[in-house]
Structure 1
Amino acid sequence: MTDQSTKPSLPAQSPPVAPAVSKDKSRANWLKGDGAESLRRNLGLVGVLVILVIIGIATRPELYGDATWVKNNVFTILTQASAIGVVTVGMTFVIIGGGIDLSVGAIIAIAGVWSTTLSTQSYGTFGMIFTAIVVGVVVGLVNGALISYGRLVPFIATLAMMVAARGLAAQISGKQTQVSANSTINSIASTKILGIPMLVIILAVVVAAGWVLLNRTTFGRRTVAVGGNPEAARLAGINVRWHTVLLYALSGLCCGIAAIMLTSQATSAQAAMANLYELDAIAAAIIGGTLLSGGRGTIIGALFGVLVFSTITNLFAINNLSTEVQNMVKGGIIVAAVLIQQFRYRSLTQLLGRKPTS
């Protein structure tokens, strides 16, 4: 009989060891997946900006060789992007929420004209700013009410508002350019803080506020939910109609701010101001990664989209190229961005790593 006590004891099982992951593999994975899609797109837009700068250096090396000119040109691009950038923040929220706003340019016009009437200017700086913002918000509320409670398609409602607001702006101004006599308003465009133009600071503040609102608040989460699936959002307890009204009011608020910025730059306002701003804002949001169908988008991506278009405009200006060619290039970029959204792959590695079918 074998003595059990003489049997060799089995070694204790060691705890499971996680498989080693190489540093190269872990670095490659951080750009994979749907969660990093916005990061990949933003990096792509940064690449586009770098390419545009390289083109500028190649075509006008004498300009880019001057460090002072380069610094001033960067601020010029940012200043040109400031007003449309503010509008794009509001447009991004509307599109993420499943809508569209074709009236932003007209809202800027009516807000600018209304705030520069003689009666409004008599109330001083605060009166002009207050009027522009209130007019923008009220028009946005009307858009939202027509869409939410009037059951109008956003395209039709905002298209009608675009025509009506331009007409009302022309009626108020008598089809004349209204000059701003307020020195404080006029000085916004020329004021610098620590060497940074005030218009650029306003843009930065609006972008930061928009990012926090979209990514760190219940309002932002509800916006994504409403745009992604309105019925599911309603069943989850979200008042979809009221939230839609608020989104268009937010867009109107951004238009009111932009109206003051443009009035400061031109020291005047007219019914034709901010022409085609709606198309520029929509295009910037789209190439920044905002889905036209709603439910997804980023404020930072939209800002990069604005900077791409502003840099293109600057590149054409320093090379004395026509506006017509510039518009054709912009149109091509918009079409390419939409096609990428429709036929995009989750990542470049997935595309390159796909095995051929036999």
Structure 2
Amino acid sequence: MTQHASPPRDSADTLAPAGRTPAWRGLWARADVRTLSLLGVLAALVVIGGVTKPDEFLDTRNLQLVLTQASVIGVVTVGMTFVITSGGIDLSVGAIVALASVWATTVATQEYGFGGILFTAVLVGLGCGLVNGLLIAYGGMVPFIATLAMLASARGLALQITDGRTQIVTVDGVLSLGERDSYVLGVPPLVLVFALVTILGWLVLNRTTFGRRTVAVGGNAEAARLAGIDVRRQRLYLYLLSGLCCGIAAFLLIVLSGSGQNTNGNLYELDAIAAAIIGGTLLSGGRGTITGSVLGVLIFTTITNIFALNNLQSDVQQIAKGAIIVAAVLVQRRTASTT
């Protein structure tokens, strides 16, 4: 009796009972729906901006401004996405940006020119990330407490360095990056840096062992440890990465504002966490999406721009952001319950 060989199937399909959709396809479908939903929200905001203030909002310079402003908090959000995906949190990112920006704009630092400012900003960010990582990974401190302590310490040190004054940047090489002559095909250099950080972040999270370990630690740290992952070292690396992103963001902010202030980065931690959450990153860890986080940043930045152009009160803007965050968390809970 002749037997007919069944056609080859994907290995994931063989794990799924007959008549049921494989789990990975369901996850992919939900991720795609989230991305499309965020794109829909962003498109709706663009329409609202175009209808309410067509001449101002759709002007090329305004769109460049939106992207430029999104670049600073966007770089911070990329680092935050990695930390949250691992099941951690970093409340100190805004304070680290402030400290890095004022340390990099002191008179002594500016004497070393462009390289000195960039190097100092990145080094301070890495240093703060190292302290956070050591306290959490090897000191056994809860991420909330450790990063809260860093928030207070970094803000205090930034205030001490500046004595409450604004430090003006006098290095032409830094200031020129914020001028229109430095735009590449109409794209500001800050946006190009943001795009590069986003691409690298996506590749690391989705295409490397480091990214898979990050997701594993966030999903179940004990299981990850039993699988041979050095959980403590992984967490140390993640907070170093977050600090690095803060250092880069501090340099971008210096270029954007032409100064260093102890008030820089105010509430960046909340904006970064909110952008990551509405983008689809689970606050409990185990799932993260760089694409969603970037779309979240663009949504919040566009909302801010629309409110500013229409002369609306900032309190209404905060209420709108809060409503978006609540809606995103409710959607996440519903998605998780159907998984």
Calculate the TM-score normalised by the size of structure 2. Answer: 0.90
How much has 1:279 moved relative to structure 2?
Answer: 0.3
How much has 1:71 moved relative to structure 2?
Answer: 3.0
Deviation track 1:242-266 (CA, whole Å, cap 9, x = no partner) reads 1101100100000000101111111
Which whole-Å CA distance do the structure 2 matches of 1:169 and 1:253 have between them? 18
* 2:95 paired residue number: 106
For residue 326 of structure 2, what is the amino acid of its counterpart? Answer: V
User: Mean alpha-carbon deviation: is it higher for 182-191 or for 250-259?
Assistant: 182-191
8 Å contact from structure 1 (residues 188, 261) kept in 2: no
Equivalent positions of 1:87-98 (< 5 A) are: 87-98=76-87
For residue 35 of structure 1, what is the amino acid of its counterpart? Answer: W
Identity of aligned residues (%): 58
Which whole-Å CA distance do the structure 2 matches of 1:303 and 1:40 have between them? 16
Q: Secondary structure at the match of 1:188?
A: helix
How much has 1:330 moved relative to structure 2?
Answer: 0.5
Which whole-Å CA distance do the structure 2 matches of 1:13 and 1:234 have between them? 46
The answer to whether the aligner puts 1:301 opposite 2:292 as a matched pair is yes
The answer to whether the aligner puts 1:271 opposite 2:262 as a matched pair is yes
The answer to whether the aligner puts 1:244 opposite 2:230 as a matched pair is no
Moved over 3 A (4+): 12-18, 61-64
User: Mean alpha-carbon deviation: is it higher for 299-308 or for 185-194?
Assistant: 185-194
Q: Please point out which of 198, 211, 217 is paired with 2:202.
A: 211
Deviation track 1:149-173 (CA, whole Å, cap 9, x = no partner) reads 1111111110111011000011111
RMSD: 2.3
In 2 relative to 1, CA 17–252 (structure 1 residues): closer, same or farther, beyond 3 Å? closer
Which whole-Å CA distance do the structure 2 matches of 1:158 and 1:309 have between them? 24
Unaligned stretches of 5+ residues in structure 2: 9-21
The answer to whether the aligner puts 1:56 opposite 2:49 as a matched pair is yes
Unaligned stretches of 5+ residues in structure 1: 1-9, 19-28, 351-358
8 Å contact from structure 2 (residues 56, 62) kept in 1: no
Which whole-Å CA distance do the structure 2 matches of 1:208 and 1:16 have between them? 41
* 1:151 paired residue number: 140
Which whole-Å CA distance do the structure 2 matches of 1:146 and 1:317 have between them? 40
Which whole-Å CA distance do the structure 2 matches of 1:309 and 1:14 have between them? 57
How much has 1:343 moved relative to structure 2?
Answer: 2.1
For residue 302 of structure 2, what is the amino acid of its counterpart? Answer: T
The answer to whether the aligner puts 1:325 opposite 2:297 as a matched pair is no
Work out which of the two has the higher radius of gyration on C-alpha atoms and give 1 or 2: 1
Q: Secondary structure at the match of 2:161?
A: helix
In 2 relative to 1, CA 50–181 (structure 1 residues): closer, same or farther, beyond 3 Å? same
* 2:37 paired residue number: 44
